[in-house]
Amino acid sequence: MNKSPMTVRGAQKLREELHELKTVARPRVIQAIAEARAHGDLKENAEYHAAREQQGFIEGRIVELESKLAIAEIIDVHSINAGDKIVFGATVDLVNVDTEEEVTYQIVGDDEADLKANLISISSPIARALIGKHQDEIATVKAPGGDKEYEIIKVRYV
């Protein structure tokens, strides 16, 4: 089974969600099912069917999170000493060569990627173009709208 890289922070977020589902959401939906059963006939009991559907979702998410954590290779970004070379976990300041727009990304695992938080997946086109490069180099990103070039301004591991 292939290991999936994940930062310590990403693994912690998954563990917190798993804990929330097991200790809060699961007991709440079990209680809702019990209350709906008390109302009588289950065939036409919309509350019961909605609670059972919610229970299925919760149980499925629990299994999904447990399997993601089981195959995760948790990497402590703070212990990486790659200098100015870009590897998994790097936070990179970039400038678009054409537009001079500045952007900062951290390269993280697939399960913790969030573009709104500037966390990009290790398998994204931008991350693939950056991996192995050094500060002050140009990275060419093969995007659907055409190639984009970014100058790597700064590389850090925070």
Kindly tell me if the per-residue pLDDT of 56 is higher than 90. yes
Which of 1-5, 52-56, 141-145 is modeled with the greatest confidence? Answer: 52-56
pLDDT mean over 70-93: 91
Could you give the domains of the chain? 4-75 (1.10.287.180), 77-156 (3.10.50.30)
Residues 6+ apart with CB under 8 A from 78: 157, 158
* Residues recorded for the chain: 158
Predicted TM-score of the model (pTM):
0.82
What span, in angstroms and rounded, lies between the C-alpha atoms of 152 and 129? 11
